[in-house]
Amino acid sequence: MAKYLLASASGMGFLCLIAWLSPVQALPSLEIADQNLTVNQDDGSHQKNDSHQGNLANNISSELPIANESDKNISSVNQQQKNQNLGLDYAVNSEQEIIPQSTNASPSSDKLAQVTSVSQLSDVQPTDWAFQALQSLVERYGCIAGYPNQTYRGNRAMTRYEFAAGLNACLERINELIATATADLVKKEDLATLQKLQEQFAEELTTLRGRVDAVEARTAKLEANQFSTTTKLNGEVIIAGVGATGGAPNKSDSNIILVNRVRLNLTTSFTGKDLLITGLQAYNFLGGADGQGSLQQSLGLAAPLLSASSARTSFEPQFPGINVNTLSGVGANSIQIYKLLYIFPVANKLTLFAGTAAETSDAFPTITPFYGEGQESISRFAGLNPVVRVSGGTSGTGLASAAGFIYNISPNLDLRALYGSVNANLPEKSATEALPGVSTTPLGGGLFSGSSIVAAQLTFKPSRDLDIGLNYANSYHEINILGTGLISSDIGALAGVAAGTPVTLNSVGGTVTWRLSPKIALSGYGAALFVDASSNSVDASTTFTSWMVGVHFNDLFKSGNNAGIIFGQPLYRTDAGGSAQLTPTGDNRATPYHLEAYYRVKVSDNISITPGAFVLFNPEGNSNNETTTVGVLRTTFTF
């Protein structure tokens, strides 16, 4: 018995010495063992996250393991946007997939076979530095194998399964030699050497066993106390000071305000390929139906309803303080579900998504590096193409119920589309009027009636440093609005036409980002929104246009610090027909311009501070308004 124990113990040291020399015994399929799973990571980030809050497209990229290889190549901004993107960049986009390879393949013919002489191995030459060692192991112990094609492949990496198989084979061989009394083959000198090596490395082996035991104990503790086996929790907290000067004539400067927005996101996967996103948020921005308490209203630059304005920051909701579906109030720091969305792949190139609290931006890669409500641009104007914001597409509160798809045409080209209804939970339109012709459920009622949108984006990457996104949206509104929240004319899109007039919008736009170097990128967008009255009793139409160009800097002065300089034209009426007015009554028509600069300082992996300001020339397209400056000091915590 002592001999057998000695042989087994010595065999372990013996294998440790020879493991790097041999492919040992065979696995049924070595190629499959090497493949296992193909895991495609995305380029954010949030960013990862950062906190994954707004853009599903980027989030799908970083969080969701979907079959979406094209996102990996297409979305250059996803990593920086992950903090906002819960979805398909993320969310979905971002980059992203786990593609299981077939594990049911038939056993490989590339199977190892026992050899009795090193000369049988065609790729082992007498001049090889390990030739004598292999010759001794093969001819003395007979526990080294080769492949059926008479090769040894000495430079090939060995898998854990192969090592286990080889260890077992050599132990059995040594015990067999001892059992058959062929003591000559297992020399006492060899066994003594192996035992001496074990004694010399006893301290290291003990330490290693102790570390393994500690890791196992910690792992067991984490498993016992983990939040969930299927769900991850991440969050983002924004605290910002905002001040402004200028505004409408005879308006005094507003006080500096301190605002916050908190988001907690639960991302759950049931199969490893799907993703359920549940987002909770609270904020203290004010506004309500008449805009009271908002910074924009104090400047005199907000619409008389819902506080739409060009003086809006990137991280405040489109309809603060109000549930726009029912015109009911929402208290400051009330907890709401702002995201509820499920994403799942159905084929190698096709992914579907659906949810009752979603936004258009969740499905579409943002392209521009300025998007990132908690990390990048400080204004609503700079982050996204206006076409994506149409119909409350970026309300910040998950306004719409939506369903759609992502189809990866090629690694550098994908198509995404969705249908969204902002009143799907309302069984019928209220008969009560808030204003003449405007119901207390102003967006209508039902999944397929009332206000709705069909939107699509074609995203492609013609070269490594160029990203392009083309957008189209067709939407119907029960009332006379654009639903972007970008300018005061967003409310009363057809100037001079009653607020209760339904409208149809056809919106087109494009966004381009060109990376001149790893640290500098040029980005811009252009958009046109064509608005037509949908009432048989009204003939009116209006065209809005907008454009933006900017320079984005990565790692400016210090790694992790980003900056941006942005200039452009906010949405502006360029044409009007029928009974629609080109210039609202009382305005002095002038082209508006927006100039912005910000610098994000990375304090740590979880904290950043962004000082910045934007200047509005001819705010709201009215030269009667004074040049307006909005300054922001934003602190963002992610976890």
**Residues 176-197 as b or e (16 or more Cβ within 10 Å = b):** ebbeeeeeeebeeebbeebeee
pLDDT value of residue 106: 38
Enter the tokens of residue 470.
Answer: 């083309």
Q: Are strands 231-247 and 145-146 parallel, antiparallel or unpaired?
A: unpaired
Judge whether residue 24 has pLDDT over 50.
Answer: no
Q: How many helices (H) and strands (E) does the chain have?
A: 13, 24
The pLDDT assigned to 102 comes to 34
Based on its alpha-carbon atoms, the radius of gyration of the chain, rounded to whole angstroms, reads 32
Residue whose C-alpha is closest to residue 570's, from 621, 530, 613, 612: 621
Single-letter code of the amino acid located at 446 = G
Report the C-alpha gap between 495 and 533 in whole angstroms.
11
| Spatial separation of the C-alpha atoms in residues 14 and 502, rounded to whole Å | 84
pTM (predicted TM-score):
0.70
Are residues 438 and 499 in contact, defined by beta-carbon separation less than 8 angstroms?
yes
Burial 264-282 (b: 16+ CB within 10 A, else e): bbbbebeeebbbbbbbbbb
Residue 46 has pLDDT above 90, yes or no: no
Band of residue 168 on the pLDDT scale cut at 50, 70, 90: low
Q: Are 32 and 104 in contact (CB under 8 A)?
A: no
Show the domains of the chain with their CATH numbers.
2-35+106-186 (no CATH), 43-96 (no CATH), 347-638 (2.40.160.10)
Please state whether beta strands 231-247 and 37-40 pair in parallel, antiparallel, or not at all (unpaired). unpaired
**Does the pLDDT value for residue 49 go beyond 70?**
no
Least confident of 44-53, 302-311, 398-407: 44-53
Confidence tier at 419 by pLDDT (50, 70, 90): very high
Phi and psi at residue 408, to the nearest 5°:
-90, 100
Q: Give the integer Cα–Cα distance in Å for 323 and 399.
A: 9
Residue, of 48 and 630, whose pLDDT is higher: 630
| Predicted confidence (pLDDT) per residue in 242-292, tens digit | 999 999 998 888 899 999 999 999 999 998 899 999 999 999 999 888 888
Least confident span in 83-97, 508-522, 535-549: 83-97
